[in-house]
Structure 1
Amino acid sequence: MNQIYYIRGQKVMLDTDLAALYEVETKQLKRQVRRNKERFPEDFMFELTPEEYYNSRSQNGTLKQGENIKYSPMVFTEQGVAMLSSVLNSSRAINVNIQIIRIFTRIRQMLMHNTELRLEIEKIKTKLDSQGNNMELVFRYLDELIEKKSESKPRKRIGYKPDYF
């Protein structure tokens, strides 16, 4: 999970990380992808711009100090990782892809669970806000009643008065 990054609003994995998982050289992985470019549309795989690469390098430490790269790194979305199993035709690639897809699925489930929790919290907040408004209204009415009572003139008592007073 620590090799999954959030770039351009998508969860992706770097080509170097995938090559290490598949136990192939990065240049071999890139070569296979370029040979099968039609299998990797923009929503499956894209190359990082120099600015994105620099930001990912500084934030994630993807390259050690002093190392250089010749080509921009490729990043693969969940669908791109699944497509790699058809390009890298080995049992290792298939097993690694199964594990990666499971991790992506687990992340999606965690995000869905968080979304459900946020919705429940918002419902509770809305209820509390409306109850707070209702309580303010009740106290305002009580204040008005108290003010009316204190402003009113004393009433003349009517009824039977005993003589012994």
Structure 2
Amino acid sequence: MPKRNESVKPDSLIISRILVVRGKKVMIDRDFAELYGIKTFRLNEQVKRNSKRFPKDFMFQINTKEKEAIIKVYKHLEPLKFSRTLPFVFTEYGAVMLASVLNSDTAILMNIQIVRVFTKMKELLLSNKDILLKLERLEKVVTENKQDIAMIFEALKQLLNPQKQKRTMIGFIRREDE
């Protein structure tokens, strides 16, 4: 069995591998394989052998548009543009299930760490729920007042750049000026 620290990766590395696809936080098969120290096709082979353990809310295959989108956003996935196969992605539940089908010590230790990172992210999101709700309310207020704000800015522009008009002089006129 490897020493505990041999297979532990920085949490920041795992976090950088978490993608958002179809509104879900997922990790791609290629990244799991890299973290587990195995080939991607071996990981997928084990998943296919145990397909009953991976329902759609645990794992799904991305489509061509999603593949192109993640390649543009996540630079570490650029080599995927040359792959003819569409990758699989795993949700947090899929990550837990991978531990049951990949039995190496490295895979088990990495899986525990990955699940902990997913859990930390969820806790962080829940702890900031109040802030997110306030931001959402503020966004609604700003949207409702958009026209008023535009009108204020237009008025300010007119005040800052007044148009010069020819003004008639008022007052007394001296006879010699006539």
TM (norm. structure 2) is: 0.64
Alignment counterpart, residue 61 of structure 1, candidates 69, 75, 99: 75
Q: Who is 2:89 aligned against?
A: 75
Q: Matches of 1:63 and 1:121 in 2, distance apart?
A: 32
Question: Pairwise mapping of residues 1-165 of structure 1 onto structure 2 (< 5 A)?
Answer: 1-64=15-78, 68-119=82-133
Equivalent residues of 2:50, 2:101 under 8 A apart: yes
Q: Matches of 2:81 and 2:23 in 1, distance apart?
A: 27
| Count of residues in Structure 1 that have an aligned counterpart in Structure 2 | 124
Structure 2 unaligned regions, length at least 5: 1-14, 139-178
Structure 1 unaligned regions, length at least 5: 126-165
Deviation at 1:70, TM superposition (A): 2.7
Equivalent residues of 2:26, 2:92 under 8 A apart: yes
Provide closer, same or farther for how the CA distance between residues 110 and 30 of structure 1 changes in structure 2, counting only shifts above 3 A. Answer: same
Q: Matches of 1:61 and 1:32 in 2, distance apart?
A: 27
Q: Percent identity?
A: 42
Per-residue displacement from partner, 1:136-160 (whole Å, max 9, x unpaired)?
Answer: xxxxxxxxxxxxxxxxxxxxxxxxx
Equivalent residues of 2:72, 2:78 under 8 A apart: no
Per-residue displacement from partner, 1:70-125 (whole Å, max 9, x unpaired)?
Answer: 311010000000000111111111101110011001100111111123446789x8
TM (norm. structure 1) is: 0.69
Equivalent residues of 1:5, 1:13 under 8 A apart: yes
Q: Matches of 1:32 and 1:66 in 2, distance apart?
A: 21
- Greater shift, 63-72 or 79-88, is seen at 63-72
Deviation at 1:65, TM superposition (A): 5.9
Q: Matches of 1:91 and 1:112 in 2, distance apart?
A: 32
The one-letter amino acid of 2:47's match is: V
Provide closer, same or farther for how the CA distance between residues 65 and 19 of structure 1 changes in structure 2, counting only shifts above 3 A. Answer: closer
- Greater shift, 20-29 or 68-77, is seen at 68-77
SS of 2:19's partner is strand
SS of 1:64's partner is helix
Provide closer, same or farther for how the CA distance between residues 116 and 93 of structure 1 changes in structure 2, counting only shifts above 3 A. Answer: same
The one-letter amino acid of 1:81's match is: A
Q: Matches of 2:98 and 2:133 in 1, distance apart?
A: 36
SS of 1:58's partner is helix
